[in-house]
A and B are shown apart, each in its own frame.
Chain A
């Protein structure tokens, strides 16, 4: 594994590892780790660092929805143009072009159901290229960004074993 990949792997596991600890676990010196991170950020491989939050434990709990969007394209407008327009709204937390029955999968977050509904009806649906929206409110989240929200598995190993 290249040192860049090793640093990326460590950060993907836990973005809060200190430079010093990443240096230890990758056999690099701290400067090399800093340089690798700087490169990864500069090249846009790493786009940000965010906490993985279980929103059901946040008060007040925000409302989230995943929204299916269908669009029509014309000579002047492509997927990227539509995406660019939607992605700028702060309510939009995620936006992906997908294969299958619809075109975009969009994740929206707001303070209340009415706020999210209003956002869809007033900001998203009126976009001329958008032909259909189907909104699914998220009721329960079991796993986000690879992190399971269950109780995890208890360490029931013997404290000392051969």
Chain B
């Protein structure tokens, strides 16, 4: 008897982030700009609702698709934000984070041999997730020249037309790039022309600082081919509560729910109670956090400008993606950590197109950011 890894698992290397985590853990006095989650605690009202639900013993499984009152609020919120209407009964599935929603979509709609076109640099789980579902991956590298927005040109050049499914994420982790409705139009056109399904991870939608968030599903002919994923981890700072959701036409949600009902049964109940309250009462908290992130974003971009570090104007999430002053991003990140105790993540760990850049997270207080920028400045001198 041996625990021999499956061939699928063998196709998935350990995360490149892990290595940097281990390096950073060797120091205890670092300022980390490498964190992919909010530095805020969730709004108190939502935490209070979670506590109350525990006190009342409301800890049973919920419906597979999630509590109806939560699905109703999710649908109403989406309608208000993006002019996209989903039926809470048949078109919304509450999941254990966006992570689960992405995995469900992969497993529900991909067969071995199918290909997934993934716009990159991107969140580190998209590529491994596709491989675990037995699919092949087509890298679609976005370019700094386009402010890391996805264009028809790179879709064509990368062979994305052959794919079954296109994965996009705006506002983007790690670049902070956003896309307007007009900029999404050619992507939608490409998907329609080549009959692609689209998975749109919009978990950072509420953290958009310039203009309004746009969903590709709201474009003509897109709702029927798109799975929209969103969640509570980022805007509501609820990462550890593990709550997200998928919205798609009934047949897609039905398929995803068929996996979910066996593998997850239902998303965490306590988190669902927190989420209902979050949607009812926590808009002001979200607005306050967004304003704070925006001040940090502008501060950071301004300091980069003064230091001569090239950085496009990232307008969403809580990341900036400046050019690395050295050719070798990993070497730079390691040296910066060692010399100045500032942690950033080299862009190459986020896939194609990330090389030569650094992901700088501003989910860190302004005084800390300022200290980190001062250290970076002295490192460059």
Binding site for B on A (CB under 8 A): 1, 9-10, 13-14, 17, 21, 23-27, 153, 155, 157-162
Which B residues are CB-close (under 8 A) to A155? Answer: 39
Choice from B17, B34, B291 contacting A9 with Cβ under 8 Å: B291
Tell whether B192 is near chain A: CB-to-CB under 8 Å. no
Residue total for B at the interface (Cβ-Cβ under 8 A): 30
Choice from B39, B345, B370 contacting A157 with Cβ under 8 Å: B39
B30 touches A162 (CB 8 A): no
Main secondary structure of the interface of A (DSSP, over half): loop
Q: For window 341-376 of chain B, which residues contact chain A by CB distance below 8 Å?
A: 343, 345, 366, 370
Shortest beta-carbon distance, B320 to chain A, in Å?
A: 13
A25 touches B17 (CB 8 A): no
A160 touches B345 (CB 8 A): yes
Which 10 pairs from chain A and chain B are nearest by CB?
A: A24-B302, A25-B295, A160-B34, A160-B21, A25-B299, A161-B36, A159-B24, A162-B124, A24-B299, A159-B32
Bound-state Cα–Cα, A159 to B34, Å: 7
A25 touches B41 (CB 8 A): no
Tell whether B298 is near chain A: CB-to-CB under 8 Å. yes
- Could you say which of A17, A23, A155, A160 has the most chain B C-beta atoms within 10 Å of its C-beta? A160
Bound-state Cα–Cα, A10 to B345, Å: 29
Binding site for A on B (CB under 8 A): 15, 17, 20-21, 24-25, 30, 32, 34-37, 39, 41, 123-125, 173, 291-292, 295-296, 298-299, 302-303, 343, 345, 366, 370
Q: List 5 A-B contacts (CB under 8 A).
A: A21-B366, A27-B302, A159-B34, A160-B32, A162-B36
Given A13-B292, A25-B296, A26-B295: A160 in contact with B302 (beta carbons within 8 A): no
Chain B residue, CB-CB nearest to A10: B295
B32 touches A24 (CB 8 A): no
Shortest beta-carbon distance, A22 to chain B, in Å?
A: 9
A159 touches B17 (CB 8 A): no
B125 touches A162 (CB 8 A): yes
Bound-state Cα–Cα, A63 to B205, Å: 49
B25 touches A26 (CB 8 A): no
Choice from B34, B291, B296, B370 contacting A161 with Cβ under 8 Å: B34
